Amino acid sequence: MKKYNLAIIGLGVGEKVLISLKNHKRINQIKIFDLNKNKLKICKKKYSVEIYSTENEIYNDKEIDIIYIASYDNYHFAQCKKALKANKHIFVEKPAFLYEHQAKEFKSLLSKKQNIALVSNMILRKSERFKFLKEKIKKNHFGEIYYVEGDYNYGRLKKITQEWRGKIPFYSVTLGGGLHIVDLLTWLLNMEIDEVFSYSNKITTKNTQFKYPDLISTIFKTNKKIVGKITSNFGCVYPHFHKISIYGTKKTFENNVNSSHIYDKRGSYNSKSINIPYLVKDKGLLFNDMISCIENNVRRKQIKNEIFNSLKVCYAIDKSIKYKKKIKIKY
């Protein structure tokens, strides 16, 4: 069983990745890099790992198989291109690319290197609760699905008003959070979102350094005639939570903060509680996707398409805000 050498860029989320993967059975070695030299020094001592002095050393390191990019969003595109040029497999935190033209360019470059795997942070797919839900949907437990809702509630206002999200040249709450809901719903229902119309406001962050909408709500329709709503709410007085509802002709599922429920009778408050764990704490589960993409051509192509398709939806949502009109999505 082959073991892989991994380099991590960025020690914010990247430190959590390091903790999860340090003893992974398919990893031979991990090396790390961060622009913050003090952070780099601390992590070197704390986790007994090798460090890079400069970012370029990573791309030139012939021993490295995979680069995990966990830097600020505005660095992802350039770092992904350098990793691809160096023939490294790429795991990039969401969003992979801030701008549509970057995604198009990188997709074209990637098409010329079919053996390179691209994986992103589709962490909600690893939730035991959502895997249970997907299986129930697959078995027609809810009947015909006709309406869905998903809210990405962040509840961490200072993250965008005081930290890096409010300082980089551009930040989108859709790409930075709502992308998780887009990916989750399209994965759960095996659907494509083909039309969006969005509204936004900037109330919770007014008079702060954050320059962009902190609330974006989108109505959409799909290729399966399902209608839905996705909201990215970064200034809410609420926990960091992924709230979703699935409405079918037989039953309804609701994922709420304290519990999840399935309702099976119209007009009744009675429901069945779902106590399956929701949170995903082990980032190592995502690395298993990377391995499957490296070693399986079909899986590699599938994940690439899913990443770019989810990004397309998010770009359309942001374009709907900009142009104040309905946006159709072509795949």
Instruction: Give the pLDDT confidence score for residue 280 in this predicted structure.
Output: 87
Residues 12 and 86 in one domain: yes
Cα 186 to Cα 191: distance, rounded to the nearest angstrom: 5
Q: Note whether residue 288 is domain-resident.
A: no
Residues 111 and 177 in one domain: no
* Minimum mean pLDDT range among 154-158, 198-202, 245-249, 291-295: 154-158
Query: Nearest 5°: CA angle at 130, between 200 and 233?
Result: 15
User: Is residue 237 over pLDDT 90?
Assistant: yes
- Residue 177 dihedral angles phi and psi, to the nearest 5°: -145, -50
Residues 133 and 52 in one domain: no
Query: Nearest 5°: CA angle at 44, between 42 and 48?
Result: 130
- Smallest CA-to-CA distance from 207 within 166, 170, 155 is with 166
Residues 102 and 81 in one domain: yes
pLDDT in tens, 154-177: 999 999 999 999 999 999 999 999
Domain count, the chain: 2
- Residue 75 dihedral angles phi and psi, to the nearest 5°: -95, -15
CATH number of the domain where residue 151 is located: 3.30.360.10
pLDDT in tens, 251-291: 999 998 888 999 999 999 999 999 999 988 787 788 999 99
Averaged pLDDT for residues 9-22: 95
Q: Note whether residue 74 is domain-resident.
A: yes
Identify the domain containing residue 250 by its residue range. 124-283+313-328
Residues 184 and 317 in one domain: yes
Q: Note whether residue 290 is domain-resident.
A: no
CATH number of the domain where residue 45 is located: 3.40.50.720
Coil, strand, or helix at residue 234? coil
Q: Note whether residue 129 is domain-resident.
A: yes
Q: Which residues lie below 8 Å from residue 117, measured CB to CB, with a gap of 6+?
A: 89, 90, 290, 293, 294, 300, 303
Percent of the chain with pLDDT strictly greater than 90: 95
pTM of the predicted model as reported, rounded to 2 decimal places: 0.96
Averaged pLDDT for residues 46-61: 97
Single-letter amino acid, residue 154:
Y
Instruction: Give the pLDDT confidence score for residue 103 in this predicted structure.
Output: 98
Cross-strand pairs, 51 = 32
User: Is residue 198 over pLDDT 80?
Assistant: yes
Residues 263 and 226 in one domain: yes
Residues 152 and 101 in one domain: no
Residues 47 and 131 in one domain: no
Residues 59 and 80 in one domain: yes
Q: b/e for 59-89, b at 16 or more Cβ within 10 A?
A: bebeebbbbbbbbbbebbbebbbbbbeeebb
Q: Note whether residue 168 is domain-resident.
A: yes
Q: Note whether residue 296 is domain-resident.
A: no
R_g of the chain, CA atoms, integer Å: 20
Residues 144 and 276 in one domain: yes
